[in-house]
Structure 1
Amino acid sequence: MLPLFLKKNTRSFEQSFYTGKVFVNHTYDIWHNHAELEFLHIINGSGTRFIGDSIEAFSSGDMVLVGSHLPHVWRSDKIYYEDIPELQIELTLTQFTRDFVGKEFFSLPEMNCIQELLDDANQGLQILGKTRELISTRLVRLNELEGGEKLMEFIQMLYLISKSKEYRKLSSIGFMDSYQSKGATRINKVHDFVMNNFMEEISLKEAADVANMNETAFCRYFKSSTLKTFTQFLNEVRIGYACKLLLSEDLNISGIGYECGFKNISYFNRVFKNTLGLTPQQYQRKHLVS
């Protein structure tokens, strides 16, 4: 299966961009990137999303615009990997090239705001507030239209997002430069290894072996490629998963720490607070207040 049904021929004789509603048992769970920009709206589903060096929980309603070649993955919660026929991820996926309406169109003065939006998308953007609600409704209409009406509707949606400024950048500004300059193959392998094993104990040597490097060289390579130490990255993956469990699982704090791969609960509490500025208990109370 291609990443989220990625259309390799996004532009064809029939259409200048791809959009459609997708139902899957779980999202494509390999860290990847592609030339097309990707606009993804989670209608139903939950898990953890990784956009560049951003690691956050996602749930129904999440709406993100991912720039060209920015590595990303939406990893569904583990319940979606169980054989439950009625449980599926529902999403709307739109993919398009930067020049899907021509190389000069977004350079026009009237379209400068969209050009800025697409530039900002190089860091990944989460759409927020009333704009997210409006675009969610218009995505339904978009998939009912055809031809020129469909194209104009999508351009209008990009225009509305760009003018509203109701979005926030996800990945750090320096991530893409480091990621591209160091080459992605080794980092991708390490990323996938961590994603598949973070609930277990992972040693630095194991990660270095995946990259086919000694530990010292691996530490330098990983830091220069991701702007984080390997331990920081591993802890952030675990904390991202812990956030999901704190809001959705009937486990005590200690149980959640162990479930996420931490072998020492005091260390789990310390890392959690250093990462989010709150203790696990404070985070849980803050988000379950309603």
Structure 2
Amino acid sequence: MEETATPYELPDTANHSFFFVDARIPCDVEAKLHRHDAWELLYVTQGHGNRAAGDTWQPFSAGDAALIPPCMLHRWEFAPDSADARGNIGYLMVAFSHAFVTRCTDLFPEVRNRLAGAAFPDHALKFGRESARTIGRTLARMNGMDELGRLSEMFRLLPVVFTSADRMFAGKPARTERDVRRMQQICTYVMRHYAHPIPLDEIAAEVGMNRSAFCTYFKRCKGMTFSRFVTQYRLNTACELLEHSRRSVSEICYMAGFNDLPHFVRVFTAEKGMPPTRYRKNMQGKNG
């Protein structure tokens, strides 16, 4: 069943330059598919799940940070079993208008100099580990500050958000809301069945299309084949397991939906530039 985007407005910021929240809430309270006229920068402190941003679904976990551009449909879907002992998930988030950014650059040469040449993306971004850590630390400091202290931290945060070198694509705007809902339906199906083969006829029937029409539609919306999309989702899942679990590479291979270990290692190495064992070692070194 398709999910309809729900109206959503951020709290009134008439007396504030931006909105900040340290959220610790039950995962079923988190906003469903929605959009708002503000940049959203969110750092996950507790929980894991899948993030919808425009036409893209990606897994996330604690320590991840992402930027959602204004007016993009999005959703953070936390897994219930990832809540803390009190049943809560957690995140730190700031939302700010683009007018806030332009006013800062107009009024403060120091900010303008740091943002010189910065491109403001119309697609969602996920940050690499180093930038995510910086964002997390900055937002955590904001939590214990008054309004002026938070504003000064925003001046430091803007260059990280818009000029860091380790930003990665995390979703582009869909052509229509119907495309968003249909892609969400497809992605939800993949998330539930990625550990097993997903025949094209099966997924096409799930969204009421024949095989040929589905292949054409999916390639137009995503710029890749459905098979490629499933492989990327499985690889992203494998990366999360390699980084955050102690399971063996062979276990992760089958958990992520690859039914042959040598094939998994070849595909992983081709995509990530290193075999799974080295990827895990590198991630553990960075997190250590």
Residues 51 and 126 of structure 1: is their aligned pair in 2 closer, same or farther, counting only changes over 3 Å?
farther
Following superposition of structure 1 onto structure 2, how do residues 201-240 of structure 1 map, counting pairs within 5 Å? 201-240=197-236
Residues 176 and 245 of structure 1: is their aligned pair in 2 closer, same or farther, counting only changes over 3 Å?
closer
Provide the rounded CA distance (Å) in 2 between the counterparts of 1:189 and 1:42: 24
**Residue type of the partner of 2:182?**
R
Provide the rounded CA distance (Å) in 2 between the counterparts of 1:43 and 1:169: 19
Q: Which residue of 2 aligns with 1:3?
A: none
**Residue type of the partner of 1:19?**
F
Deviations 1:150-188, CA, capped at 9 Å, x for gaps: 67335413445368x43433118xx636x3379423222
Q: Which residue of 2 aligns with 1:156?
A: 155
- How far residue 234 of structure 1 moved from its aligned partner, in angstroms, is 1.0
**Residue type of the partner of 1:66?**
I
* 1:180 corresponds to 2:179: no
- The TM-score normalised by the length of structure 2 is 0.73
**Residue type of the partner of 1:170?**
M
2:280 is matched with which residue: 266, 284, 288? 284
**Residue type of the partner of 2:93?**
L
Provide the rounded CA distance (Å) in 2 between the counterparts of 1:115 and 1:203: 48
Q: Which residue of 1 aligns with 2:169?
A: 171
Aligned length: 276
- How far residue 215 of structure 1 moved from its aligned partner, in angstroms, is 1.2
- How far residue 244 of structure 1 moved from its aligned partner, in angstroms, is 2.1
- How far residue 143 of structure 1 moved from its aligned partner, in angstroms, is 3.4
2:253 is matched with which residue: 238, 253, 257? 257
Structure 2, unmatched stretches of 5+, are 1-6
Contact 1:117-1:162 at 8 Å conserved across structures: no
- The TM-score normalised by the length of structure 1 is 0.73
Any idea what SS the aligned residue of 2:70 has?
coil
Say which is worse superposed, 223-232 or 12-21, in terms of deviation.
Answer: 12-21
Provide the rounded CA distance (Å) in 1 between the counterparts of 2:120 and 2:179: 22
Any idea what SS the aligned residue of 2:195 has?
coil
Deviations 1:210-264, CA, capped at 9 Å, x for gaps: 3322111111111121112111111111111112222343433332222122233
Task: State the identity as a percent.
Answer: 23
- How far residue 58 of structure 1 moved from its aligned partner, in angstroms, is 4.7
Deviations 1:192-226, CA, capped at 9 Å, x for gaps: 22223322332212222233221111111111211
**Residue type of the partner of 2:160?**
I
Provide the rounded CA distance (Å) in 2 between the counterparts of 1:186 and 1:56: 16
Deviations 1:124-161, CA, capped at 9 Å, x for gaps: 152664x66555444244334455x2673354134453
Any idea what SS the aligned residue of 1:170 has?
strand
**Residue type of the partner of 2:127?**
Q
Structure 1, unmatched stretches of 5+, are 1-5
1:193 is matched with which residue: 189, 210, 213? 189
Provide the rounded CA distance (Å) in 2 between the counterparts of 1:54 and 1:115: 29
